[in-house]
Structure 1
């Protein structure tokens, strides 16, 4: 029996002796892991820390109500639009360089964002923070993956990384609320400055120089079409939450996005050195791993949004109390990241863990459909949300391992760029999609009080959310072959 390696050479299994993967981290690997997880946690916090402060920022800087969304959207557009590009650049010039450059930009943008007193500079700082996220996230993941051999150690590292992503997203809402109430919204920016400086000082000491690909050229037409297409697509979906799916702004943006992404596909077919080689995108583990990843991120962020509405608009809890209750989700996320590698070992494959995580997440989210308008529902809702958060992070780890396994180190920047793109786009579009479902149901409720109409809209949206997760779990189970079979292209 023979196999084909990444260089196209055929080798027999006898020529490929497989050494057992180490099961214990060295001291240096532990320090590298702490460093990279700290960076990923900071970026995850950045995504949500300002969301709680949006109304306060709007009042202080004079934002019109309809423009408040740009405080969050400006970050999301640049983070999603440039992840694939910077992931590829990381392969070409070295992930370490991109990681350090992104940390420098994040620190500077955060300092500027905390000092500004006008709308334009604030939005520019948010765009710069998004660009920094597009640089640091895929480069950091590539460094993490290449620092650990494929096997238990890498699975454990990715498990902790998944925990930091979701815990950071959740903690951002809690920390943002506390900082805004106790100090000022500006500390949502300032908190990144000392963290960024510390990471910049320590990173060169711990991170080995990444091997850059020699003689590579950047696919400029591909970079332009995919970045512009993703920005237009995410903007269109974000606009749907404000203007509706039938508005000219939404339809035009979505149309431009689709056209540009189709053009990107044709560019990649002709490019001598494509930004995203289609042979990688054609791998079932990459394609279906990222589809599963998109579903779990969309489902989780939409659930948080819908639960925020439920706790405040239906049960009548304050914004601070709502933020603090989400600490339960942070605990679930952390436990999910710790135990996910054990699930991979027990089930024997990462895609089985992805399927199982999606399935449990879908069932627990869908069960929230039965939540009522009495405060006695608080504890059952939090229990289901805890299980959903746990299974969400288990699914994230399954997604990351599935979508990056079996690829050589020189393609990990691209692979992690794709997974970062999946993450950023999904957490951006999840809210407007489910918000549109809930809004349509609320508008259709005639003769009901506002509270009951809102509850009905939330219930329907949460049920749709759960059904999508279960359906994607079934599709991933159906189409993804076992890694051992998929490794031979």
Structure 2
């Protein structure tokens, strides 16, 4: 369900842009509100799950998620939808951190653990892989509202299943909650992401921009100081002394420097530039995500044989290779479903090689009673990097569009026209005299910049992961 929620929404963004209506930055926030709330709350939810019980927190998160999905489905304006997406993301954080902690507790060692995480990867991949086509089909047969409302039904079924099948677990050593850490991290993350997202309108030299920077930096430094001193932190920096844990965290970030944020912008290119319907665009994005269903069992076998220091960097390098092919195809101006297919499949294989080994390694590197914290740290790394890179990719897209228009558009209107084009809107009345063909070329230039970024980022993080894995033998150290 969480995977479905991530990849089904991009397929309806062009429709939301017209029907709500929503501007480009509102579309960014419809996606980013979910990931931002999730990454802000993951560490806190992992700690709460260790303290109060993972099954209990999971069921509470499921209930709130169902209510938030209902509000999303009934929303009639972009601000209401964005607010409900924040609530969805916060409750999804509870569900995600708890499900991984439960798996880590009930399957602790050996091949059985690999099989369990392999199946978790398959089920998560099913939602991720079929999300685009499911979103497109629901949009074609019903309306965009049902892309959210379907989660209400799934939530009810999942709650009954969880009550019967999940064993309660937690950390018996937790006495009190690290409230200061829970508060300071979300403030820092929100501030940085807000600055990136609003960068074209909010000058960093302005008073407001400087205040946000100061608050974000102060919150981050305070968070680090608190976590280093407190006895039972929600984010234990001592875990980074474990080589394999550090490799896993780099892998968690690397996937979200390219693969997942691109899912938000890819459908805009497919529908607005290439002219595909939402269903066809969903099928193309399905090819991009489908390998995440097939590859996880093989990735777990490679993890058992070669270790995380091998499989995680290989996965990141494979993602980079796929994006390199996408960059060549798109920048050449010959993009269509057939020419895009090789890059999509290779990038998807890379994600499949990285995803479940990252989760298995991060939770397996720390003591079992700290599984909630470990999963919270890992998925915080995922969601923080995803939230930041949704904003960064939007900035890169806008920059690429603006660079193509700079010689043909008045400076005063450049920002507004570039924003309109970046949202996939080629309505001649809104282009300020810019020809539709020129607008198409500008969008292609922007999306080619995005794929170049998606090539370089995972390659660099993959190299760092490989270098760290070669330092010294991995060992489990005592955490706070």
> Do 1:53 and 1:177's aligned partners in 2 also have CA atoms closer than 8 Å?
yes
Structure 1 residues 245 and 308: CA distance shift in structure 2, 3 A: farther
Distance 1:406 1:422 in 2: 16
Matched, 1:467 2:456: yes
Per-residue CA deviations over 1:43-80 (Å, capped at 9, x if unaligned) read 12223433433454465556566544433333222111
Matched, 1:421 2:400: no
Matched, 1:291 2:280: no
Per-residue CA deviations over 1:422-468 (Å, capped at 9, x if unaligned) read 22222222232233234323322357944344333333331232122
> Do 1:315 and 1:375's aligned partners in 2 also have CA atoms closer than 8 Å?
no
SS of the residue corresponding to residue 455 of structure 1 reads helix
Structure 1 residues 250 and 480: CA distance shift in structure 2, 3 A: farther
User: What is the aligned counterpart of 1:243 among 201, 205, 215?
Assistant: 201
Structure 1 residues 270 and 487: CA distance shift in structure 2, 3 A: closer
Matched, 1:234 2:193: yes
Higher mean Cα deviation, 268-277 or 50-59?
50-59
Structure 1 regions of 5+ residues with no counterpart?
A: 1-41
> Do 2:227 and 2:237's aligned partners in 1 also have CA atoms closer than 8 Å?
yes
> Do 2:309 and 2:469's aligned partners in 1 also have CA atoms closer than 8 Å?
yes
User: What is the aligned counterpart of 2:177 among 218, 237, 240?
Assistant: 218
| Corresponding position of 2:466 | 477
> Do 1:155 and 1:397's aligned partners in 2 also have CA atoms closer than 8 Å?
no
Alignment of 1:302-317 (within 5 A): 302-305=261-264, 307-317=266-276
**Aligned length, in residue pairs:** 446
| Corresponding position of 2:215 | 256
Distance 2:313 2:213 in 1: 30
Structure 1 residues 335 and 94: CA distance shift in structure 2, 3 A: same
| Corresponding position of 1:455 | 444
> Do 1:354 and 1:397's aligned partners in 2 also have CA atoms closer than 8 Å?
no
Structure 1 residues 357 and 260: CA distance shift in structure 2, 3 A: same
Structure 1 residues 351 and 358: CA distance shift in structure 2, 3 A: same
Distance 1:250 1:76 in 2: 22
Structure 1 residues 215 and 427: CA distance shift in structure 2, 3 A: closer
User: What is the aligned counterpart of 1:360 among 308, 318, 323?
Assistant: 318
TM-score normalised by length of structure 1: 0.82
Structure 1 residues 239 and 162: CA distance shift in structure 2, 3 A: farther
Distance 2:272 2:237 in 1: 46
Matched, 1:182 2:141: yes
State the Cα RMSD in Å. Answer: 2.8
Q: CA deviation at 1:365?
A: 1.2
Q: CA deviation at 1:358?
A: 0.8
Q: CA deviation at 1:197?
A: 1.0
Distance 2:21 2:346 in 1: 40
Distance 1:460 1:109 in 2: 35
Per-residue CA deviations over 1:115-158 (Å, capped at 9, x if unaligned) read 35465554443222111111100011100111212232222332
> Do 2:69 and 2:84's aligned partners in 1 also have CA atoms closer than 8 Å?
yes
Structure 2 regions of 5+ residues with no counterpart?
A: 409-436
Per-residue CA deviations over 1:193-213 (Å, capped at 9, x if unaligned) read 221111111212111121442
Q: CA deviation at 1:170?
A: 4.2
Q: Which has the higher contact order (CA 8 A, sep 6+)?
A: 2
> Do 2:50 and 2:174's aligned partners in 1 also have CA atoms closer than 8 Å?
no
SS of the residue corresponding to residue 298 of structure 1 reads coil
TM-score normalised by length of structure 2: 0.84
| Corresponding position of 1:39 | none
Q: CA deviation at 1:106?
A: 1.1
Q: CA deviation at 1:302?
A: 3.7
